[in-house]
Amino acid sequence: MLLKNLRPANDYDRFATETLEPWDMLFVARIRQLAREIPPGALADIGTATAVVPVRLAADPALADWSFIGVDLDPAMLEEGVPRIEALGLSSRIELKVGDALALPFEDGALAMAVSRATLHHLPDKALSLKEMFRVLRPGGIALVHDMRRDAPQALLDRFTRMRAEANYPPTHLEEKVTLDEARALVAEAGVDAFSTVFSPNAGLGAMGFEILLKKPVCA
């Protein structure tokens, strides 16, 4: 199950495209870097909401040979993203699909990449979501998760709270986030720790969160 966002879709879209842009750009840059390691294919953004991330990716010339799928449980969120996709002429490269992060709507080995930003903390079974992302990867495929840490530096948390307030958004709920050690434990619980890297940057905006990187072996 992927929990629905409690804010209206148009309200969330404004927040995602403006306030969350610095973290989106870090995420997109990391995806671009990883995409150079494998042949092009289909990339699914899990918990895509209004498809901000797929749009940023599809507009990147470096990813011209890739196709993109935005997956979210809430049809209203997906519908909010359609006008932007159409206005940019990206309808042929971005598919939107209603789907559950705990039972992804893909066959085994269907994707070259599965990515997710700021979604893991919403999920009632986080380890299962990681297991699902790994399942749908083709051999040699890559899964990337970025999310916020409960144990992030206080100065960064305070800065994020101010940014949310300026966007008329309430403070984030830290109790639903995980620590860096808990993220490592989730990977182990999912049974994919042998194929994973979990880390958090020491400085910059990225230090507010962590990265889970999964690489499916070619022989899997």
The beta-strand segments (E) located in the chain are 42-46, 67-72, 94-98, 111-117, 137-148, 196-199, 209-215
Q: Is 151 within a domain? A: yes
Q: Is 220 within a domain? A: no
Q: Is 51 within a domain? A: yes
DSSP bridge pairs for 100: 103
Residue numbers of the chain with a pLDDT score lower than 50: 1-6
Q: Is 97 within a domain? A: yes
Q: Tell me, what's the pLDDT at 213? A: 98
Q: Is 1 within a domain? A: no
- The residue range of the domain holding 16 is 9-215
Q: Tell me, what's the pLDDT at 2? A: 44
Cβ–Cβ under 8 Å, residues 53 and 75:
no
Q: Is 133 within a domain? A: yes
pTM for this model (two decimals): 0.86
How many folded domains does the chain comprise?
Answer: 1
Q: Tell me, what's the pLDDT at 18? A: 53
In CATH, what number is assigned to the domain containing residue 73? 3.40.50.150
Q: Tell me, what's the pLDDT at 132? A: 98
Q: Is 96 within a domain? A: yes
Q: Tell me, what's the pLDDT at 166? A: 75
Q: Is 4 within a domain? A: no
